[in-house]
Amino acid sequence: MIIDTHCHLDDKRFDEDLDEVIERAKEHDVKGFLIPGADPKTLEKARKIAHRFDGVFYAAGVHPYDIEMYDEEYLMKYLEDPKCIAVGECGLDYYRLPEDEASKHEVIAMQKRVFAAQIELAKRVEKPLIVHIRDASSDSKEILVKHEAKEVGGVLHCYNADEQLLSLAQDNFYYGIGGVLTFKNAKKLPHVLPKIPMDRIVVETDAPYLTPHPYRGKRNEPLYTRYVVEKIADILSISFDEVAAVTTDNAKRLFKEFATL
């Protein structure tokens, strides 16, 4: 069995064939799905999808690009739902910052405040974090440690292969590995992958984004976790079945609701 720990099934690109997408995945042993709460505007849609399908869960949070929409009271309405099993995706993203220095510092400061607030929220509701980090490894690690995020743990979504983040494995954090691993121009992640403790690796697609080889350029979907598992197995010189089993056990340990699958 495989669990896709990060797939945006609430994206409009799945509106026409979501049933078929989930059925295709399940026919090939992808049995668990987690929709990250990246955009508060689609949370209700994510909730409805999770309640409609067995094996589908969702999270509630605010992506660093949408920090101005952070509303804790609004998120709490969803975090009280048994099918809402994590807080996020939340974190820091410095890839697209304003060029003006004053505006840049203001955005960074606000991202940090909203990220810290969501860590505290996760601790309060006792749910793990889905953490988004882009070009902000040092600040992200500092905030996670300072706010004792290890109390709830979580996953570093689309792990960026920054080795300074590897120590977070000791703080109850897992590493989300997706289609980037299969890219022909990927060099850093295949090099760092063997340094991640095997019991800290989970599989994700980030569907409909970051489609793995050989379907790169097309819409991604949970079925394609298989290509990620294959690549992990190839790099680590172990079997497909072992990678599938270990990463599934890891996902169940982090997101306990998957244990019933």
Q: What's 223's domain CATH number?
A: 3.20.20.140
Buried b / exposed e along 99-138 (16+ C-beta atoms within 10 A): eeeeeeeebbeebbebbbbbbebbbeeebbbbbbbbebbe
**Of 176, 60, 65, 158, whose CA–CA distance to 118 is shortest?**
60
- The residue type at 1: M
Domain count, the chain: 1
Residue range 177-191, pLDDT digits in tens: 999 999 999 999 999
Percent of the chain with pLDDT over 70: 100
Helix intervals (H) in 80-195: 101-125, 137-146, 188-192
pLDDT by residue (tens digit) across 89-141? 999 999 999 999 999 999 999 999 999 999 999 999 999 999 999 999 999 99
DSSP three-state, residue 67:
helix
**pLDDT tens digits for 188-246?**
999 999 999 999 999 999 999 999 999 999 999 999 999 999 999 999 999 999 999 99
Range of the domain at 144: 2-260
Average pLDDT score over the chain: 97
